[in-house]
Amino acid sequence: MEISTPGRICIFGEHQDYLGLPVIAMGISLRARIKGTKRSDKQVIIHKPDLNEIETFSLDDLSYTKPRDYFKSGINICHRDGLTFSSGFECELSSDIPIRAGTSSSSAINVSWIHFLSKMADQPANWDQQKIGELAYMAEVAEFNEPGGMMDQYTAAMGHLIYLESEPVISIRSLKTNLGSFVLGDSCEPKGTIEILRRCRDSRIDIIQKLKNKNPDSTMQNLDESANLSDLDSDEIELFNGTLGNRNLLYEGLAELEKDNPNHESIGRLLSDHHEVLRDVLQVSTPKIESMMDAALNGGALGGKINGSGGGGCMFAYAPHDPEKVAEAIKKVGGKAYIVQPDEGTRID
């Protein structure tokens, strides 16, 4: 059995989904793969040649022994959903997706793992992609009380371009727009995902709670510039306005993406506007990311933004016309460049 799952880029809504705000994200043509078979015993052996590692544990002991113990949590989540496993597995994990760089390599692996488990169970499950994304979110985020949202898991599971609302209920729909090529640029700088997520999330959750004191019927979905901000200091007001700005940019982007013939230049401009808020207000960009962004724009990209939690990792540029030239420009300033297109969600290969 071999399963593959795409990485993802966040088009609009970066650092917004864990606040209950919508996102637009896209599965990309870089994929993670799990290939494996059943064993005759209860051992689970996962070969990770890209990392020169082997992970081994037994189905008889699925207690967590390390932070983010995702392979065990995936089995535990599947158990809770009714699957049973009488024998272990031996698997090999490989990936084209940049690791720890903001393109959801870990979520692509977790989605692949849940999909793999669903087919290797004693009574295989025929889960759809949305269900697989839901269980991957539970195994990766909810199980360990981590500060991320659910964009990564659902986008990797469902693929292509999706609009995701998580509140008041989860609602996902595919956007049929053919955007063409993007260029993903890896700065090769390590990033502190958990630390940045906690800072960007927790500070704004505090702001939301303060706003509810003076705006009791308001949510982040309906708050606007008329909200009573008297309980906020100047830094908090800037964060609040930046959050509203990114929310509004998403809705502008959604309106454009829903057109039969969207304006690619407008999409590029909105991406760059989104990046400015991430850079100047949330402060998640770096000098290396900025040099790559400038090079991409000078090379003909229509726009772009940092991708993922930030503080390093990847950016992407929208380059539907001449992606090779944009990729070369990113390489010249020291980044790794990947030309990517929208790609389908998790699948059996």
- Among 125, 151, 177, give the residue marking a domain's end: 177
Residue tagged 């700088």 (tokens): 189
Q: How many domains does the chain have?
A: 2
The predicted-structure confidence for 102-142, as pLDDT tens digits, reads as follows 899 999 999 999 999 999 999 999 999 999 999 999 999 99
Angle formed by the axes of helices 129-140 and 70-80, nearest 10°: 120
Q: Are residues 173 and 192 in the same domain?
A: no
3-state helix, strand, coil in the chain (%, to 5): 40, 25, 40
Same domain, yes or no: 102 and 158: yes
| Nearest CA-CA partner of 107 in 136, 132, 74, 135 | 136
Listed residues 131, 158, 177: the one ending a domain:
177
pTM of the model: 0.92
- Residue 320, domain member (yes or no): yes
Query: Which helix (H) or strand (E) is 214 found in, with range?
Result: helix 193-214
Residue 168 shares a structural domain with residue 190: no
Strand locations in the chain (E): 2-12, 23-38, 43-48, 53-58, 89-95, 161-165, 171-174, 182-186, 303-307, 314-318, 336-340, 347-348
The DSSP secondary-structure symbol of 342 reads: B
**Together in a domain, 120 and 23:** yes
159 in the same domain as 47 = yes
Question: For the domain that residue 223 is a member of, what is the CATH number?
Answer: 3.30.70.890
Q: How does residue 2 score in pLDDT terms, banded at 50, 70 and 90?
A: very high
What φ, ψ does residue 16 adopt, rounded to 5°? -120, -30
Average pLDDT value for residue range 170-199: 86
Q: Which domain holds residue 69?
A: 2-177
Residue 329 has pLDDT above 70, yes or no: yes
Q: Give residue-wise pLDDT tens across range 210-247.
A: 887 877 877 777 777 778 888 888 888 898 899 999 99
**Residue 346, in any domain of the structure:** no
How many residues comprise the chain?
349
Which residues, at least 6 apart from 188, have a Cβ–Cβ distance to it below 8 Å?
Answer: 334, 335, 336
